Structure 1
Amino acid sequence: MPNRPELSAFLRAMRARVQPDDVGLPAMSRRRTPGLRRQEVAQLAAVSIDWYIRLEQGRVGVPGTAVLDAVAQALKLTAAERHHLHLIARGEAPPPRHVPAPASESLQTLLHSMPTVPAWILDFRFDVLAHNTAAVALFGPGFTVGINTAKPLFLDPATRDFQLDWTRIAREHVGNLRANLTRHPDDPRLRSLVGELRRKSRDFATWWDDQTVQERTNGTKRILHPTAGVMTLRYDVLAVQDGSEQRLSVITPADTDAENALRALIFQPHGLRAVN
């Protein structure tokens, strides 16, 4: 059985050493004790304040691995401290840290065989696993392997300017993330992402709480590109049928104007070279 007194002492000590500005919270008033309040840890970990208080008091039974990882992230624990937290709270070592599964070689070959079609591979957490040059030409040099596409959608004001149908596209992402979390309730990376977006985006929190569930598969959207102007584009999200739950996302022009603008972006001097 977990050592409850040690768990309580450990969590209090870890909480005391983290300052609000360490985790992006405002220090709005003087504090009687150093570190985060219990309510702030609960907010950061996306758990209820009552549950976190019981955890710190050792009254929650054996907590799940995903929620412990959310607490570990909220308290900015090191790998050794995370390991220790799982041992004293669950009596067993934690699962390995999430490492995104790479896109298969055949999928990457497919991406690069479509030089005029922006395309990329996502996992169920919306992490980019691979992309082609046309995708970078459309979205810019910040579109790289390893970024999470849901974060800028909700947290970067420039993305709202770029996505002219932002509300619809953003709500699709919320519904998709809820469906994905239902399939992967113990995935620490996904739980952490949802918790962060609920804390930092009022829109995400509102739409998450309305219980919308949907799969984002296809549609049409308008974007305002900084150099190419307004483009109407079609998007298709295709499931990879290999059990990995990866998705192939593809952008195609919806009209002649968008086709010309997209080709100009892709074949500009810093993009691909046109073949005569």
Structure 2
Amino acid sequence: MTVELTMPQATATRERTGEPSVNRTVNRTGERTVNKTVFGAGEGNRTGEGTAAPRAGDAVRRAELAAFLRSRRERITPEQVGLPRGSRRRTPGLRREEVAHLAAVGVTWYTWIEQARDIQVSPQVLDAVARALLLDRAERRHLFALAGAVDPLPGTECTGVPRELLQILHQLAPFPAVVQNSRFDILAYNSTYGQLHCGLDALPEEDRNCMWLAFTHPEYRASMGDPDSTVRLMAAKFRASMAEHVAEPAWKALVARLSEASPEFRGIWARHEVVRPVIGTKVVRNAKVGTLELSATSLWTGPNPGPKLLSYTPVDETSRERLERLQELANAQG
């Protein structure tokens, strides 16, 4: 006979974070046994009752998956994913808890995967881990194959900004250049672009989005040549891009955040306007160097409509001189 020790609060906490719950029982001899319930895509209780025996090779596959995840985690620097390095970091790459945080899963749960524990992993969680680890298409396919799961978004590129592209960005200065995705997130930029509309370095990571800045940041808004028409055009481009991402949490979260912060955005968004992306001349009213007329060039860095490199060249000599002055100011601040 066993007496079960119930822990409803602990169990509820683990379910919210995605960690497997553990039911602990104590028998009369004082021994403690553990029955694991694994949370995944459609998995139920896996205490061993009424389930098939493990397939041959499962342990080998789990070990390979664990080793693969560790290798991918250790190659990523904190700076690549917007995390501070700190002065006491000894772990190469990211820590396990950092990957868990980026993927929004439980730390214990992710640790058990890297320990090759016998747990099931849902495709949705694998997708989150793939994005957190910046896996490219081949690596993502390998991850799902090792986990024995079907990729819900085959062909997805999860990579961040490669070091080579960062070098190109810096070499383009004093011409402003930025890597931006279809959600208007600012993924990387050079020193000139960092001062073009406002001081991007001083902004928190979650605010480095052109849509958010256009509707909520006074200095960014003031730098636009024609703010009213520009934000309306941006919202139309954003809605057109969102058609392929309507169910994705990051897109829905940005719309919700903008709707709460900006009555203007709510009004424009309710019009359901869409427009295809166009590239042309950009007028920027920089508070430090004056008005700039720039010609925009867009280069896709991966499968359309993935991230793109936007660079801006001066239309006239005055704009060129002012860009050079802007870069000098940026370098002085750096």
TM-score by length of 2: 0.49
The answer on 1:142 being equivalent to 2:169 is no
C-alpha displacement of 1:153: 0.6
Q: Name 2:298's counterpart in structure 1.
A: 237
The answer on 1:133 being equivalent to 2:191 is yes
C-alpha displacement of 1:168: 2.4
Q: Name 1:198's counterpart in structure 2.
A: 259
- Residues in 1 aligned to 2:315 and 2:204: alpha-carbon distance in whole angstroms: 26
- Residues in 2 aligned to 1:155 and 1:272: alpha-carbon distance in whole angstroms: 24
Q: Match of 2:200, SS?
A: coil
Q: 1:148 to 1:229 in 2, by over 3 A?
A: same
Deviations 1:12-47 (A, max 9, x none): xx9xxxxxxxxxxxxxxxxxxxxxxxxxxxxxxxxx
C-alpha displacement of 1:262: 1.1
- Residues in 2 aligned to 1:265 and 1:236: alpha-carbon distance in whole angstroms: 20
Deviations 1:44-77 (A, max 9, x none): xxxxxxxxxxxxxxxxxxxxxxxxxxxxxxxxxx
Structure 2: which 5+ runs fail to align?
Answer: 1-11, 17-103, 110-121, 133-157
Please, what is the CA RMSD of the aligned residues?
3.2
C-alpha displacement of 1:228: 0.7
Q: Match of 2:331, SS?
A: coil
Q: Name 2:173's counterpart in structure 1.
A: 115
- Residues in 1 aligned to 2:284 and 2:329: alpha-carbon distance in whole angstroms: 19
Among residues 157, 160, 167, which one is paired with 2:218 in the alignment?
157
Amino acid in the other structure paired with 1:142 = L
C-alpha displacement of 1:142: 2.3
C-alpha displacement of 1:156: 1.6
Q: Match of 1:183, SS?
A: coil
Structure 1: which 5+ runs fail to align?
Answer: 1-9, 15-77, 84-91
CA contact (8 A) 1:174 1:208 kept: yes
Q: Which moved more, 1:231-240 or 1:206-215?
A: 231-240
Q: Name 2:43's counterpart in structure 1.
A: none
Q: Match of 1:218, SS?
A: coil
- Residues in 1 aligned to 2:256 and 2:230: alpha-carbon distance in whole angstroms: 20
CA contact (8 A) 1:151 1:197 kept: yes
Q: Name 1:38's counterpart in structure 2.
A: none
CA contact (8 A) 1:116 1:134 kept: yes
CA contact (8 A) 1:152 1:159 kept: yes
Higher radius of gyration, 1 or 2:
2
CA contact (8 A) 2:295 2:314 kept: yes
C-alpha displacement of 1:240: 2.6
TM-score by length of 1: 0.58
Q: Name 1:188's counterpart in structure 2.
A: 249
Equivalenced residue count is 188
Q: Match of 1:249, SS?
A: strand
Q: Name 1:215's counterpart in structure 2.
A: 276
Q: Match of 2:241, SS?
A: helix
Amino acid in the other structure paired with 2:228 = T
